[in-house]
Each structure stands twice: as C-alpha cells, then as structure tokens.
Amino acid sequence: MTKVKISAVQYKYKELDNFDEFATNVEDLVNQAKGSDFVVFPEAFTLELQYIIPNHEINKIPGYEGQYIELFTNLAKEKNQYIIGGSHMTMVNNKLFNIGHLFCPDGGIFKHSKTHLMPAEVRMGFTHGTKLEIFETEKAKIALGICYEMEFPEVARTLTLKGAEIIFTPSYTLGEHGFWRVRHSCQARAIENQIYVVHSCMVGTPLGMDMMAGYGRASILSPCEEPWPPNGVIAEANTNEEMVITGEVDLRLLHKKRKHGVATTLSGRRPEIYEI
C-alpha cells in the first residue's frame, strides 16, 4: 500500500435530545468520508453528550463509554474503515483519563491515553498517560498525538522513530490562540519528522460554558517540499464550520523524500551533539 485516503472530521457542538441523535450525526459524518481508509474525529467531542445528562453534569460522560465503543466498533466494521473516534473521558481504576481510540474494520480497538495534559486538564482531575505507541495497520503505521501532545517535539519524534508514518491529532482548543499553537506545532512536526499529520478540530461552545468555545480549522499536513503544496496543506476545513475534509497521502513518496529530499530532516539529525 502506498497511497492512503484520509478524512478529518471538524465537529461542532449541538443540542441533543438522546444518544440516537448523537449516533445519527456521527454516522452521517462517517458517510461523508466514504472511500477513505482512515477517518478521524476530534478530541473530547463526546462532551456534547452533556445535553442528555440530567443537570448536564460533564463528570457523567464516562458512563457512556459502552455506547460510544459499540457505536464506533460497529461503524468501523460496517464501513470497512479505520476510525479514530476522537477521545473520550474514561475512568480506569477510579482514575480519569483522556483516551483516544482507534477502531479497526476487524473489530479490534487500540487505545492511547493522552500523555501530556494541559494545566486545566490536571485541575479537572485527569491522569497522565505513560505510553507512546504506534499501531501497525494494513494501510499504514500510525500513531495518535492528542492536541497538547503535539506541542512537545519529543512526542512526535519518539513516535516517528518507532515507525509512524501518519500521526492523527484529535484536538479541542479554546480560542484562536490555542488553535494556532496546535496547528503550528502539527506543521512543525510534519516538517522535522518528515511525516503526515492529520489535525481534527472540535468547534463550538459547550452548554453553559462560553469560556470554553472551541476554535478550529481541520487540516491534513505534509512536509513543505515538492511535489506537496508549498505550505504543506493537503486539505483544510473552513474555520469553525462542521464539515469533513478528505485528502490522499503517498507513503512511498514520504520514504523517498526521507532519503533523497531537499531537506532530509529526519536522517540529518546529529544526536551525538544534543546531550545537555
């Protein structure tokens, strides 16, 4: 496999009356990604479920894990696609984690717990994940770098050295400054590691939480070198609009450029002089 088709969902908060409405909207968005090998949803997009919880208590969202898992497991099998179901608040041994899920066409599920947490997430009681792993699918070697994780060069570098070709970045950023921190970081990680990065954004305002309005412009990013676009942007969403963007990436080209590109940033590292 050399060419991989990818779709990134830009998801917007909306009012819900029940879980079926949530599931219907999710399936509609997946249908817009028909023919893609991978589909990625944003970080924490299941926060929308607060609408159907009495008193809209966000801390009750982990209770929907079973329905969330069932929904995405069935969609991945039915559509024969790899679906990154964004991330979901999950309780493990009485600890709260922000966990991204990769749902596979064969029913398999791989999980990644966010390793670098924003100070606000720590105050909310989230626990840091401790592992950086890649997932070897039949389409590509991929990894998850959830939002703030991409602001740390060590995360993407570690995943790349482990073999990642594509890093999927489910994201939920508050305001335009937060968005650009993650977006610029994603583009930098694509350049310095000679990988593809797919940035999926959560937008809109949670119920009664005007200070937590999401801002985003989902994108599929490449290194900045011919024959990719000069700015490295393969596909890009409209700002703050719910939509699905789709693009194609070439893994053979990626490996070729790692060896013979104009800027061979991955092989050109000099770790012998990086000691502090």
Residues labelled catalytic:
43, 114, 147
Judge residue 21's burial from the number of C-beta atoms within 10 Å of its C-beta, 0-12 exposed, 13-18 middle, 19 or more buried: middle
Cβ–Cβ < 8 Å for 143, 114: no
How big is the chain by its Cα radius of gyration, in Å?
18
Report the alpha-carbon distance of residue 184 to residue 162 in Å, rounded: 23
What is the β-pairing status of strands 166-171 and 141-144?
A: parallel
Beta bridge partners of 169: 199
> How wide is the angle at C-alpha 178 spanned by C-alphas 45 and 266, nearest 5°?
95
102 closest CA partner among 93, 113, 118, 117:
113
Cβ–Cβ < 8 Å for 61, 89: yes
SS3 labels along 85-116: EEEEEEEECCEEEEEEEEECCCCCEEEEECCC
Decide: helix, strand or coil at residue 234.
Answer: strand
Report the alpha-carbon distance of residue 244 to residue 258 in Å, rounded: 29
